[in-house]
Amino acid sequence: MSRCRTFKYKLQPTNSQRGDLERLIAGQRELYNAALEERRGAWKWERRSVSYEDQTGTLTKLREVRPDILAFGVTVSRGTLRRLDRAFCAFYRRCRAGEKPGFPRFKGKGSFDSVQWEDSSGWKLDEEAKRLRIFGIGKIKVRLHRPIQGIPKAITIKREGDCYWLSVRCVEVPAEPLPVTGKEVGIDLGVEVLVATSDGKTFLGPRFLKRSETRLASAQEAVSRKRKGSGRWKKAKAEVRRIHRKIRNRRIGALHQLSRELVNAYDLIVHEDLQITNMTKRPKPRPNGEGGFEKNGARAKSGLNRSIHDAGWGIFLAMTSYKAESAGREILVVDPSNTSRRCGSCGHIEAGNRRGAVFRCLGCGYEAHADVNAAQNILRAGRAQQLQCLAA
């Protein structure tokens, strides 16, 4: 069975090509903001909606007024307008669902770093020569550290600090099934212990952000001491971005290795249906009726939220999911209710069963690592879910 996958590679442009890429990104940011202003103005003054098709139809007229924006082809401009259209679609979806909508905003220079080609025109990737040909720029060297699989259909170029990265979206990527192991596992995610398995294994969380807090705080203080917009301020900001980028890359690398280890070892992986967005929300304020507020644990909650984001639960589950799909493994998601309070031996549920990292059942006296006990309950729930599906 074929899959859709994205492959990421590093670009190695010349100084001239760097300038062209900078102009390309700046022009597309201007186009994005202008298209957003058109939509806002049309609704504010005429109560008229502007669609993606309406805006792409005006690109031919734009060539006469702003030929510099279309100097890199019309395909990349369509990708920018499609990006804005997706932002509006997400806004309307959140409004209908009763969520906090977040209206699309204008993009500043530091918040628009990528451009995309939504189809196969305007660019061509030569794998043998390791070059990417972009209309209006020329052939850019690509570090192809692994072969591309499937059929390339679209690309995205992203600027990260001084580096440029190419993401190639491919279709009909062949699956790579792994041999059957006959093993099943439930996994419980945490902060100190990132992953605990039902067979007793524990993987400690690297916590790269916490390990780099001192260096990051020092770099952020250096930014605050500089005059905003000056050359030294820009260098200090670049250092902060570099530290954040290094933390992210180390986290992603560790999660890739762990997710690959689990997929290689087990045929069935069961995990909880974690609502990470809800889990990391700020606590609501508590008015005391006298014009002030009572303590609501916001400081402790912010520290927990930071640790959850540092652990990268969402990234890890996404990596495990797509690796399992390609390898022919099965992923099951179960309800997280009482998985940490239920005894893995007798099934007794009580809040007092768990005390930190130790689980001691108040009903039968069973003792185990709290996260391992939770993982065993998760695996048991996954097997029950499988039996229900077979019975139905």
Residue 387 burial class via C-beta count within 10 angstroms: exposed 0-12, middle 13-18, buried 19 and up: exposed
DSSP one-letter string for 342-369: B-TTT--B-GGGEETTEEE-TTT--EEE
> CA 9 to CA 25: how far, in whole Å?
18
Reply yes or no on whether 188 is catalytic. yes
DSSP state of 71: G
* Catalytic residue from among 20, 85, 272, 310: 272
Which among 85, 118, 184, 188 is annotated as catalytic? 188
- How far apart CA 257 and CA 203 sit, in angstroms, is 12
**Which residues, in sequence order, are CB contacts of 220 under 8 Å at separation 6+?**
240
Catalytic residue among 20, 184, 267, 371: 371
Token duo for residue 271: 């995990």
Told to judge if 371 belongs to the known catalytic residues of this protein, a careful annotator would answer yes
HSE-CB at 117 with a 13 A cutoff on CA atoms is 26
Q: What is the 3-state secondary structure (H, E, C) of 143-203?
A: ECCCCCCCEEEEEEEEEECCEEEEEEEEEEEECCCCCCCCCEEEEEECCCEEEEECCCCEE
Asked if 119 is an active-site residue, the reply is no
By annotation, the residues acting in catalysis are 188, 272, 371
